[in-house]
Amino acid sequence: MYKLLIVEDEPPIMRSIKHTFESASNGMWAIETAMNGKQAQAMLEKESFDVVVTDIKMPIMSGIELAEWIYDNRLDTFVVILSGYSDFEYTRKALEYRVFDYLLKPVSLEAISELNVKLKKELEPKVAHKRIREGTSAIMLACAGAYLLYDSEVMMPGVSFWSDEIIERFMERELRDGEGYIFFNESAQAERYVAIQAGSEKRHREIIDKFYSFISNRELPVTLIYDASVLFEDMGRNFQKLRRCLIKKLILGKSQMIDICDNIDTFVEVSCPYTLGDIEKAVSVISTGNREELRKILSDLFDKMREANSTQEEINDMLNVILDTYVLKNPGNVSRRNTSVKHEFINALAGFVSYNELLDEVLEIMMTLYVDKPNADRYEKLSNEVESYLIVNYKKSISSETLASEFGFVPSYISRIFKRQRGMSPNEFLTKYRIEMAKRHLREQPDLKIREIAWMVGVKDSYYFSKIFKKETGVWPSEYVKATSNN
pLDDT at 464: 79
The residue with greater pLDDT, 212 or 446, is 212
Q: What is the pLDDT of residues 434-461, one digit of tens each?
A: 999 999 999 988 888 888 899 899 888 7
Is residue 254 a contact partner of residue 289, using CB atoms and an 8 Å limit? Answer: no
pLDDT at 375: 62
Q: For residue 372, is pLDDT > 60?
A: no
Q: For residue 348, is pLDDT > 80?
A: yes
Distance, in Å, from the CA atom of 109 to the CA atom of 111, rounded to the nearest integer, reads 6
Distance, in Å, from the CA atom of 62 to the CA atom of 83, rounded to the nearest integer, reads 11
pLDDT at 240: 87
pLDDT at 267: 47
pLDDT, average across residues 427-436 = 93
Q: Identify which of 167, 202, 182 has the alpha carbon closest to the alpha carbon of residue 128.
A: 182
The residue with greater pLDDT, 252 or 177, is 252
pLDDT at 72: 85
Q: What is the largest CA-CA distance in the chain?
A: 92
Q: For residue 361, is pLDDT > 80?
A: yes
Burial class (CB in 10 A: 0-12, 13-18, 19+), 48: exposed
Q: What is the pLDDT of residues 195-205, one digit of tens each?
A: 898 878 899 99
Query: What is the SS3 assignment for 394?
Result: coil
pLDDT at 166: 82
Q: What is the pLDDT of residues 126-154, one digit of tens each?
A: 766 666 666 788 999 999 999 988 765 66
pLDDT at 151: 63
Is residue 182 a contact partner of residue 128, using CB atoms and an 8 Å limit? Answer: yes
The chain-wide mean pLDDT, for the chain, equals 86
pLDDT, average across residues 369-373 = 64
pLDDT, average across residues 96-116 = 84
- Phi, psi (rounded to 5 degrees) for 259: -85, 120
Q: What is the pLDDT of residues 297-323, one digit of tens each?
A: 999 999 999 999 999 999 999 999 999
Q: For residue 164, is pLDDT > 90?
A: no
pLDDT at 185: 60
pLDDT at 207: 96
pLDDT at 408: 86
pLDDT at 251: 95
High-pLDDT (> 70) share of the chain, %: 90
pLDDT at 279: 94
Q: What is the pLDDT of residues 263-306, one digit of tens each?
A: 655 445 556 899 999 999 999 999 888 999 999 999 999 999 99
pLDDT at 285: 93
pLDDT at 415: 87
Task: Find all residues with CB under 8 Å of 341, minimum gap 6, and list them.
Answer: 323, 365, 368, 369
How far CA 207 is from CA of 93, 107, 195, 458, in Å, comes to 44, 41, 11, 31
